[in-house]
Structure 1
Amino acid sequence: MLSEEWEQLQKLLKFTYNYASIETVFFQSGVQIVWESGHIQVPEPLKGYFEDLRAMLQLQHSNAASHLLIHSTSYKLNFISSNLYKGTSYLGSIIVGPYLPGEPSTLLMHDIIFDNNLSIWLQPILEQYYLSLPLINEQKVNNISEFLAYLSESAQLSNHSVSTFEHVSYNFRSQNLLLSEAVKNKTDLSPAIIEERYRKENQLLSIIERGNQQQLQQFLKDGAWGKNDFPDRFPTDPLRSRKNLTFVSNTLLRKAAEKGGVHPVYIDSISEKFSIQIERSASVQQLSELQMKMYSEYCKLVNDLSLKPYSSTIRKAIEYIRLNLDKELSLDIIARAISASMYELSRQFKQETSQSIIDYINLLRIKSAVEMLENNYLSITDIAQIVGYNDVNYFIKVFKKTNGITPNQFRKNRRSIQQN
């Protein structure tokens, strides 16, 4: 086929796909897909039955007087094909489909399983796959067929002047009885593949829940969790499909962090951040990189902020301190806020954290101050007030006690390191 003819054919295929909104492929002589658009992924357990379905279609049906054919299979998966010619030479066929002529009900699934000698355990997988397929009524089938006829005649790729179409039916029951052992074994292994997929997911979520960053790095390094572990759920739009899966992942990671003992305020903040980034992603590659970032940040969040090891009283105390760090804090204020005895709170806090409440408050405030010292536009006084110190001299004293140098010296050292 000449390059000009191929360009013309590509335009014709794009027109067909845009009009029909159904998976469109071109089969050339030798039965090969040489162009496709809107690919719908066949679930792993069904590939032995459905993956090569187009290759079984009788595109040049011996009894057909028309170049337009409606293919009806015993799987209830239908196709429309249009044969293209250059003069009398057959170039190949445009195939539109699969599509369904009616709703994929449970009764229909039963009929498909019985009529095609399929295993009953495939029913839920069949249902999910069929729900992803377009429903096309008879009128739309006629419209698509007429559209194909018009395009091929306009492009002078038809040797038929009449745009009639004929029906061809297929029954795959006997063929499925003779399926190779390799296909049967592959199908039998599918439950194990699915189980393994979910086992790995649970293992990943368990690592996140524990905040084990080292184990997470090893898990991802070993390739235990790949970017293609789950099939597309929106097959005609790979980017949208991957976004949907990444949204689901964000939800699962959020729940893992919650189980890991992180306060919902922090979880909501990081979850919202990633939701925005997911929607703004412009490519599948960006989403894959974002997915890795999500694993890392959720794991770090649990590692830094988990309160799971502590008793209910101490969890409440720490949560109150973290959420009110910029306000006045004292043992008395915290005890009243969480309805606890000052004496018991002080004793229990020291026992569970190995430090006093005041030391813990100062530690968190100084940690926040260290991060803010990166901002050269904030004065030392500003930073002191932001992290909860009304007395800048007391702030400097506590900072020096914690870090060995004053805030000004710390900032100068940082600048010197950055310049070098």
Structure 2
Amino acid sequence: MNKLFELVVFGRLLFDAIGLPVFIIQPGRAIEAEYTDQSFHTNPYWSSIREQVAGYAYVLYPAEHPVHFTRSRLSYFFVNALDENQLAGTLVVGPYIHEKPQGDKWNEIITYLPQDNRREFLQLVEEIPLISSKRSVDLSRMIYYAVHKKLVDSSTSFPLESMLIPELDAEKKQLNAELSRRRRNGMLHSNLSHERVMLHYVRNGERERIRTFVTESIIAEDEFGVLSKRSRIRSEKNLMITGIALICRAAIEGGVHEEDALTLSDFYIQQLEEKETLQAISAIMTKVLFDFVDRVSEVRRGHYSHAIQTSIHEIANHLYGEITLERLATYTNFSPNYLSSLFKKEVGLTIAKYVQRERIEEAKRLLTLTDYPIADIAAWLNFNDQSYFNRVFKKWTGMAPKEYRKNER
């Protein structure tokens, strides 16, 4: 019995036992099996949920522990399964919610949805299971053990995103004392204008100004709010996670597709958490800035028709899977020949060349930010063999993958 089939069987049993939605995802991001309440399927917004689940970049995350994430306040967790150190499939549990859909927090979410989707989203949320954060963590640890036969400590499987913890009286007193000290010193986050300038550049895709900004932005340590007294590294990570969230939102406002931006944000936060030096943390943030500003710049430079924007988005979501002209034509309701001609006219590349370029861009990110073997990266991105991948990579970058990884780190 192969590992993917084992996940399918286990997923069915798991759904029957816990009543939460369960998805089994192939390594290429296709849904292998889905176990959910039938009432969800009548809601038009459920198709968006399925796309989000299928499109998440599971391959970028380690298999050492469960990973929790949220989308529009809907929560999920997943466990990657390996077969001979290769990703064999992913078991995803969710969506579920930690709080009832009421109040301003939910209103903030629906304001980003098209008018037609708001009611559908709220109706769906009413049907989605409500469980506590602790139970979701406990379930993820149990499922991880069932898949890997290893225990994982609870402290490593909390969600990547911030969890709200009630403040204690002592913490309030400490906060008030800190505010008083900062007022005396005139330090109340005086870098706000600095932050606004940076986000303005990201929102408008101004790469050269971001380059100047990064070069000239040498700020004294005391100008930044310290988010953790226990560890300078932890404090820096906390600040950078906040920064990534702000940059991600600015990029979305600049035109980058929301799911693309959020997936990229999750990826960089995961990379950030693995760094143990201030220099490495700073390097990640520089990559975040340039990556997001380049994506905004590309969107603004393109001004593509709706059909080409749809095609580009589908290509971005399926870099790890099969991408065919016929599939793109189906999404755009154009004939394959017409779509191919229109794509070349607007983008300046054939669809095949564009896909190849985007896969090389993804490979560059993996080479720079992870330690995955080059052969694995080539296979994940659908290159037939490593030698072919090396030739294509060198054609686009001017150097071999191994040389690129060495130079960019």
The two structures have a TM-score, normalised by structure 1, of: 0.40
Greater Rg, structure 1 or structure 2?
1
- Normalised to the residue count of structure 2, the TM-score between the two structures is 0.41
